[in-house]
Each structure stands twice: as C-alpha cells, then as structure tokens.
Chains A and B, each alone.
Chain A
C-alpha cells in the first residue's frame, strides 16, 4: 500500500478533522476524568442519539438537533442532580438511558431510518464534508481559546471546589461551562467515533497520560499526543485494511494504555 492515500482530499479532511477532535476530546476529557465524571461524555453521547433521531425525523441536519438536545439535557441533568442530591453515577445513568429511549421512540414513529442512524452510532470520519471540517475546526478553536483563557479557574475548581470558592472563583458557573463544553465536544466528535465509543476518546488518553506522573501541562500534552497518534494511525490503518476507523482508533489507544501500564509495572515510571 503506497502513500497515495495521503493525496485524497477526503483523507485530508478526515485527518484534519480527526486531529482537531483528538485534541479537543483529550483536553475537555481531562477535566471530566479528574472530576470523576468519566462516563459523562458517554451519557451526553447517548442523549445526542435522541437529538439525531429528532433531526432525521424533522428533516433537519441531525447534528444541529443533537447539539441542542445534548447540551440542554446535560445542563438539566446537572441542575437536577444538584437540586435533588442525586449521585454522579446515577445521574449519568438517567441521562444515558433517556436519550436512547427518546431516540428509539422517535425511530419507531418514523418507521425506521436504520442506515443513517448506523453512521452516527459508529462514526463516519471518511465521509466528513468540507463544511463539517470547517465547523469542527471552528468549534475546536473556540473551545481551546475558552479553556486557555480560563485555565486557572478550570483547574482550581477541578482540584478543590471549596478552596476555589474561597479564592473567589465562580465554581458553579465553571461547572456548567465544563458541562456545556463537554456537550459541544461530544456531538462534534460523533462523526469520528460515533455515539457508542465517545468516552474512549475522553477517557483513555487521559488515564494513560496521568500515569506518566507529570504536572498538569505536561499531562495535557502527553494526552493530546497519544490521542492524535491513535486517531491518525487509526484512520490510516482502517482505510488500508478496510475496517471501521472508530474501532481501530479506540483499540490503538487501549494499546497505548496497556503499553504504559507495562512500562509502569517494569518500574520505568514514577510510582504515583
């Protein structure tokens, strides 16, 4: 197999979008993982399934409805969780199942549109259009700018909420901001790995990067690098062997996690 695949414009779009999504997911995901919210990405993704079905039924571009439904439902569930004192994992379960339930009911009403749904469940990065690539790049840019400019507030309120409050950081607003950014990130990433494997991009590179025992910025850089590596190599391998990119990307990042665990067990990394 030659380097010819790198000359295809669909491949350019796939790689560019893939790299942007990889970076975005690893940064936003790190805050979720550190807040013990690892499965929240998954829950938002499942709730976006309801949004996608709604879009397909209404004849609207499904990701627009997915953005709306997942962001709104994520913010609502966060509010409800705080108000009624529901634990984090239970609220994730509620969000996750309600999204799928809504999706299934809508699909039932419409008589089924299985083919379209399939690409949202498992991703279709090789089919990403120019417009979609631009949207992905723009959203990635905006979210990264927001994170960079609120870096201290985001990190501090993740590290210790009470102390952050005493330092005058609007912790509640920051929490909602993280949920909001997670909502956008998840729906943006659906094209790469689909609804079902989103949390892999959020969680696995970060869990791996944390094991390297470094400071925050280095952890972010390690996580981004691992994530970009898995996505780029995953897209190329999957094209060459004609297998699904989503599965390949996730397996590669699990491979990197396993390798890191191996290195750590061999005593080559600090104990932490």
Chain B
C-alpha cells in the first residue's frame, strides 16, 4: 500500500490551548478515512495544518513522502471542500465561473461540463452561485475541487446545514469517487452512521487521537463507541 499522508507527533495550539496533542497517523492510497470527534476536538485545526493554512505547529506532516514545510507542490494534488464556503450572496459568479476557478489549465475546459454532469448540476451552470440551495452549492464546490483531477479529496464536515436528500446524493457521489475513480478521501464528520457506511478507516480525534484503524474494528467494538459517545457528551455539556 502506498502511503500518501503521514502525520507524526502533530501538536498545534489554538490560540493558546492545545487543539491537537501529539497526533500521529497515516493515510494510504485509496483509503476513505472518516475523521470523527466532538466539537472542538481539533478536526478543523488538523485540516488547517494539513492544508498549510496553519503553519504554527510542531511535528511533521508529509504528503507523498515530502515534508509540507519544504514543498507546497502537494497542494496541486488536493481537492478541498470547506465546511461552509464564505462568499457574498450577490457575488457575480455563475456555477461555471466557480468551477473554472479550480482549473489550472485552460485546456481542461471540457472537464467542467463532464464534472457538472457527474454531480447533477449541469443545468445550473449559468446560475449565480448565491441563488442555489446549500446542497447545490456544496456540489458546486466539490466540482471545483474535482476539476483538477486531485489524488486526494479533503472535506471538512461537508453536510452541515444541508437537507437529507442532498446529503444522500452527496454520500453516493463520495462513494463513487472513492471506489470507481480511486480518489483517496479524508473526510471529517459528526455523523457516525454515515462514517460507518462509507469510510473504510476511522480516526477518532479528541485533541489526542484515541483510535485510528479499520472502520469495522471501530464499529464492532462497543467499548470504543461508548468511550467516543461519552467524550462527545462531555463536550456537549461543556458547551452548554
């Protein structure tokens, strides 16, 4: 198995509390990794570090065997779908414009149509992004991430605030991308059921990594699930 992401002893502070404490794990090519953990578990901080948006961390993050502090080339191989993309509602760009932003090479023009069709948003291509529903917007951002033919897709809680029908469609798209197009997926989610159905690996994060391995192992181990639920519950109580 080809190791494509390797994280060693990652510790990050946000802003002065430890958001991640000595986290280490690897992702192999073709993995569908679900990262689960309660609010404030450090999932977004982990992604920020992996995407070079946060460089104030200790430890080593390697993509394709190269330290990301030394080379940013790995970013070309990544498609990133943020939690809730922020933009002005009346920003004058169509679906087509948004997907085109992801394009690095103008000659890949045909790719746009192909991906819009694959994601069921072809008919919306001339509509402004701000006019679409949350679920449709989410698919547009996946299209933008996919248009560069990424090897890895990173998604940060991508279904927050989206209706169930769109979520189902979204999950079936993810499954297809992973199984047919062999795209490695790293995906953070609150939805344990969905992670159980989709992911083949699970990383369970609560500032420290308390489980990383095959998803069957996690979901067949009642103790682990119980521990996870308790941690989530504590966090939940803490927040209220």
Contacts and interface: CB of A to CB of B under 8 A. Distances in A.
Contact of A160 (B85, B92, B97): B85
Given A210-B92, A215-B93, A168 B82 contact: no
B133 interface: no
A194 B131 CA distance: 38
Contacts of B130: 272
A188 B101 CA distance: 30
A168 B88 contact: no
B101 A209 contact: no
A215 B53 contact: no
Interface in A79-129: none
Contacts of A213: 92, 128
B90 A210 contact: yes
Contact of A156 (B53, B85, B90, B101): B101
A36 B88 CA distance: 10
A162 B72 CA distance: 15
B93 A216 contact: yes
A165 interface: yes
Interface stretch (B14-22, B73-81, B195-203): B73-81
A36 B91 CA distance: 11
Interface residues of A, number: 25
A232 interface: no
Contacts, number: 73
> Interface centre among A155, A160, A166, A213, by most B CB within 10 Å?
A166
B82 to A, nearest CB: 6
Interface string A132-173: 000000000000000000001001100110111111100000
Nearest to B98: A159
B1 interface: no
B128 A166 contact: no
Contact of B52 (A156, A159, A165, A217): A165
B76 A159 contact: no
Given A160-B86, A166-B80, 18 more contacts: A34-B88, A34-B92, A36-B88, A155-B101, A165-B52, A166-B52, A166-B53, A166-B78, A167-B101, A167-B104, A167-B148, A168-B75, A209-B92, A215-B92, A215-B94, A215-B97, A216-B92, A217-B97
26 contacts: A34-B92, A155-B93, A156-B101, A159-B87, A159-B91, A159-B93, A160-B85, A160-B87, A162-B53, A166-B75, A166-B78, A166-B80, A167-B102, A168-B72, A168-B75, A210-B92, A213-B128, A215-B92, A215-B97, A216-B93, A216-B94, A270-B131, A271-B131, A272-B128, A272-B130, A272-B131
Interface of A: 34, 36, 152, 155-156, 159-160, 162-168, 209-210, 213-217, 219, 270-272
